[in-house]
């Protein structure tokens, strides 16, 4: 009686080729849902859809008021983080409530820890505000509890409103992060930083071709080098006082060494390795109340735990050690 022949295993080369083909195909499908792209593979961030404003006046549908508005935020999201920083700097904690949502890796969206406005997910809240809504359901959201609707979901707009429209309820009403005499300079920095840094790290991490990645990475570090040179002679981007330009940059810089350096392949240099940018980041982190808005664990969980196409294992790194943020900056220009 003949002994049955053992089945032959697939050659390693074929296994590798098949695995690479399957993973690449699945990766492209997942990335197309996570990050819309151009024909050249560049990440394209969709525009925010709700752009109304809180402002004083009899005809304003959204007048300033204490207790009327809620900010829906994700603690890992840099865009939502901006609104928390301005809310803290202005001293608006008692006037504007905050509700935290968490990303769900299974549903691919933001969910409430406990139901709010009868909604389990942020997508349901968007549908409540605009029945039939089919766009992206993103944070931050400035929600009007009186009319049960979304006032605005664009962080750049929300921080302008928080800076100027709630001063009668603010503990620090004299702090102006967007002064008239600096608006042109602030806007110039905002445009450059948004394109090449705030969104630039995402253009690196979500790039779907080598050429798209190379372009985004070059622009990111060229801009970081330019900012570092500027900060050699200036405490903040626009002089000796903090402005909205600094706030918008801060939330990206805080996440840079934690997630963008490794996960998003922005690894030419860490922020703490820059002589001026590293000290500048420490200056901002040590401003009164800002550290309390920074949640390191949520940031690592949200990026490493939920961006499956970039980190299929879901393993969350133990580092980095962020204790350096508590060191003095040793910068000579005065801070306000």
Burial pattern 108-143, b for ≥16 Cβ within 10 A else e, equals: ebbbbeeebeeeebbbbbbebbeeebeebbbbbbbb
Q: Per residue, what are the HEC states of the chain? A: CCCCCCCCCCCHHHHHHHHHHHHHHHHHHHHHHHCCECCCCCECCCCCCCECCCCCCCCCCCCCCCCCEEEEECCCCHHHHHHHHHHHHHCCCCCCEEEEEEEECCCCEEEEEEEECCEEEHHHHHHHHCCCCCCCCCCCEEEECCCCEEEECCHHHHHHHHHHCCHHHCCCCCCCCCCHHHHHHHHHHHHHHHHHHHCHHHHHHCCCCHHHHHHHHHHHHHHHHHHHHHCCCCCECCECCCCHHHHHHHHHHHHHHHHHCCCCCCCCCCHHHCHHHHHHHHHHHCCCCCHHHCCHHHHHHHHHHHCCCCCCCCCCCCCCCCHHHHCCCCCCCCCC
Active-site amino acid positions = 77, 202
């Amino acid at each position: 009686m003949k002994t049955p022949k053992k089945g032959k295993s697939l050659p390693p080369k074929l296994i590798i080729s098949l695995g690479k083909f399957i993973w690449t195909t699945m990766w492209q499908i997942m990335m197309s849902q996570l990050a819309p792209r151009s024909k050249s593979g560049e990440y394209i961030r969709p525009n925010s859809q709700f752009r109304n404003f809180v402002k004083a006046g009899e005809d304003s549908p959204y007048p300033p008021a204490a207790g009327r508005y809620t900010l829906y935020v994700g603690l890992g999201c840099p865009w939502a983080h901006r609104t928390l920083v301005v809310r803290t700097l202005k001293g608006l904690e008692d006037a504007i409530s905050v509700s935290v949502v968490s990303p769900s890796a299974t549903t691919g969206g933001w969910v409430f820890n406990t139901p709010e406005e009868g909604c389990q997910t942020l997508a349901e809240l968007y549908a409540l505000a605009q029945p039939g809504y089919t766009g992206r359901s993103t944070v931050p959201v400035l929600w009007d509890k009186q009319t049960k609707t979304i006032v605005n979901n664009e962080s750049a707009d929300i921080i302008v409103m928080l800076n100027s429209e709630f001063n009668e309820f603010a503990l620090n009403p004299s702090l102006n992060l967007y002064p008239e005499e600096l608006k042109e300079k602030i806007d110039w920095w905002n445009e450059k930083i948004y394109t090449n840094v705030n969104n630039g790290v995402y253009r690196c991490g979500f790039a779907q071709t080598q050429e798209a990645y190379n372009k985004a990475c070059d622009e990111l570090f060229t801009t970081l080098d330019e900012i570092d040179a500027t900060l050699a002679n200036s405490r903040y981007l626009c002089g000796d006082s903090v402005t909205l330009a600094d706030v918008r940059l801060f939330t990206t810089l805080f996440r840079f060494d934690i997630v963008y350096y490794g996960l998003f392949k922005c690894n030419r240099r860490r922020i703490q390795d820059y002589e001026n940018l590293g000290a500048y980041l420490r200056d901002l982190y040590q401003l009164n109340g800002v550290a309390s808005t920074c949640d390191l664990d949520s940031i690592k969980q949200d990026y490493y735990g939920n961006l499956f196409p970039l980190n299929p294992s879901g393993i969350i790194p133990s580092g980095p050690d962020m204790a350096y943020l508590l060191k003095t900056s040793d910068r000579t220009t005065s801070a306000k």
